Amino acid sequence: MSNLLNQRLALLDSDQYRPLLGQGLRGIERETLRVDAKGQLSRRDHPSTLGATLTHPEITTDYAEALLEFITPATPDIAEALDKLDKIHRFAYSKLGDEMLWSQSMPCPLPDENEIAIAWYGKSHIGMIKHVYRRGLALRYGKSMQCIAGIHYNYSLSEDIWKALQQAENTPGDGMDVQSENYIAMIRNFKRYSWLLMYLFGASPALTTSFLRGRPHQLETLSADTLYLPYATSLRMSDLGYQNNAQDGLVPPYNNLMEYMRSLSIAVRMPYPAYEKIGTNINGEWVQINTNVLQIENEFYATIRPKRVIRSGERPIEALCARGVQYVEVRCMDVNPFDPLGINLETSRFLDAFLLFCALDESPLTNNEEGLENTNNFALAVKEGRRPGLMLTKAGKAIALQAWGLELLEKIAPLAALLDNQRGDAQYARSMQVQKEKLLDSELTPSAQVLKAIHAENGSFTQFALKQSAALASQFRARPLNADDQAYFEHLTQVSIAEQEAMEASQSGTFDEFIADYRSRTSSQICCEN
């Protein structure tokens, strides 16, 4: 264990600072496709009974019109967020009729591309720019990609922890800048070790044959309708997911926030010939926000992002420039088809310990060579993570995945103990033991369990996914909300619809003017380019 980590552990385990560990915030965004009883993608519009997707704080869509996104409020204890996520699911099922939620990260058999509807957010300028952005994604990546689902885990430490560390370590500078750079250091460590999350929690080793639509691949055939890799953990996070040559080398290794923001702001202004050929308008309709490498900063597909809550109409990079990093968003987690919510408390407790380790441990500055090493380790873990004897690379030297994973668990254990000490129980220790058992026996991993279940359904990913989705749907429908909770969500629905209607009625100017103003805010006026 590094000296820095020891010092920080000692500080935070004191009576004065230990309570701060319970004051950070956690939140979950869970994506899930709406499908019919046969497991076919829903062709229906987003149900109005679930509210307006533009303004509802907890139920919206992401990319495809059928791809629901459930968003929990940020809470100090992830157990509270999971309880809220459960209630959102149960409310949704009260409105879905004969439809249900797909239990997998990889989508159901999909119709032709022209039959997959892009998410619609109404006629307001803000709603339209969200829709146009997704039109651009469809042109750049294809609509099948807009049907992939994941779990996003939002994590922050109490700002008072960063202040305490700054004071104890005599770190010069503005408090918000110090906090931001500590989050960037945390991201560097996450990049070094996130292959472990793919091994432990990846749950997409197979997919339906139709998903690739004839694209070249190196997958093996499991059955007539299913492709897979025998040792894969997460095909969703492989090169079969969101990939774009335009983004190669886009963001250099994360050494400071300014470097990160500068790279993104340049990419949002850098023309890309293939996109220029498409143009921004076709037959008088906007089809992408611009013809640059990125339409907006969020198009950069990262496994983790530094984040700041944005204001209406504000660009993500503007928020980071103005107010610094507030939390991180972990984006690499698959939907676990065996968990009704796609993620459970045990997994969440480990994520908290893992992220705390990344935040507090020594995090040396990085370079392109280490960045390539991190990328290769991650790629090996998602495609071959359960291969016996699989070797990764650590500081230029070969190391077995299992050995490195067990070494990391030993380093994370004191963080788990600290969190248990703060809570007064042993939930983190129990989760750590479960993860150790997975490292010792790959058959216990979700990806292995998914393949086992697929084999039991004649080797068909679709048959397994449909059966599991139906089983989870029955569980949710058997647990309707109580009257107060149902009324709460009904109220949110009505308020969101009224808010969207008010936005559409009160806006001024044309959409062309709005989008021109939005694009202009990537100019040299952005603080990180000064």
Confidence class of residue 253 from pLDDT cuts 50, 70 and 90? confident
Nearest CA to 31 out of 147, 119, 146, 150 is that of 150
Mean per-residue pLDDT for 207-216? Answer: 91
Beta bridge partners of 329: 154, 305
Contact 225, 219 (CB under 8 A): no
342's CB contacts (< 8 A; 6+ apart) are: 30, 32, 103, 149, 151, 335, 336
DSSP 270-328: SB-HHHHHH-SEETTEE--S-SBS-SSGGGS--SEEEE-PPPTT--HHHHHHHH---EE
Rounded CA-CA distance 316/264 in Å is 10
Q: Read off the pLDDT of residues 366-419 as tens digits, 9 standing for 90 and up.
A: 999 999 999 999 999 999 999 999 999 999 999 999 999 999 999 999 999 999
Contact 164, 20 (CB under 8 A): yes
How big is the CA angle at 214 (ends 210 and 219), to the nearest 5 degrees?
Answer: 75
Mean per-residue pLDDT for 346-352? Answer: 98
pLDDT at 245 over 70: no
Both tokens of residue 310?
Answer: 């944005």
What fold, for 3-529? Creatine Kinase; Chain A, domain 2 (3.30.590)
Q: What is the pLDDT of residue 104?
A: 98
Rounded CA-CA distance 277/232 in Å is 37
pLDDT at 242 over 60: no
Is the pTM higher than 0.85? The answer reads: yes
Mean per-residue pLDDT for 126-147? Answer: 94
Confidence class of residue 203 from pLDDT cuts 50, 70 and 90? very high
pLDDT at 103 over 90: yes
Q: What is the pLDDT of residue 530?
A: 44
Q: What is the pLDDT of residue 525?
A: 43
For the chain, give the mean pLDDT: 94
Contact 42, 308 (CB under 8 A): no
Q: Read off the pLDDT of residues 429-464 as tens digits, 9 standing for 90 and up.
A: 999 999 999 999 999 999 999 999 999 999 999 999
Q: Domain map of the chain by residue range? A: 3-529
Start-to-end Cα distance in the chain = 40
Q: What is the pLDDT of residue 213?
A: 86
pLDDT at 252 over 80: no
Q: Report percent pLDDT > 90 for the chain.
A: 87
Both tokens of residue 382?
Answer: 């998602």
Q: Read off the pLDDT of residues 355-364 as tens digits, 9 standing for 90 and up.
A: 999 999 999 9
Q: Report percent pLDDT > 70 for the chain.
A: 96
pLDDT at 244 over 70: no
Q: Read off the pLDDT of residues 283-331 as tens digits, 9 standing for 90 and up.
A: 999 999 999 999 998 898 899 999 999 887 678 888 898 899 999 999 9
Mean per-residue pLDDT for 267-282? Answer: 93
Q: Roughly what angle, to the nearest 10 degrees, separates helices 175-193 and 368-384?
A: 50
pLDDT at 279 over 60: yes
Mean per-residue pLDDT for 76-100? Answer: 98
Q: What is the pLDDT of residue 57?
A: 97
Rounded CA-CA distance 109/112 in Å is 10
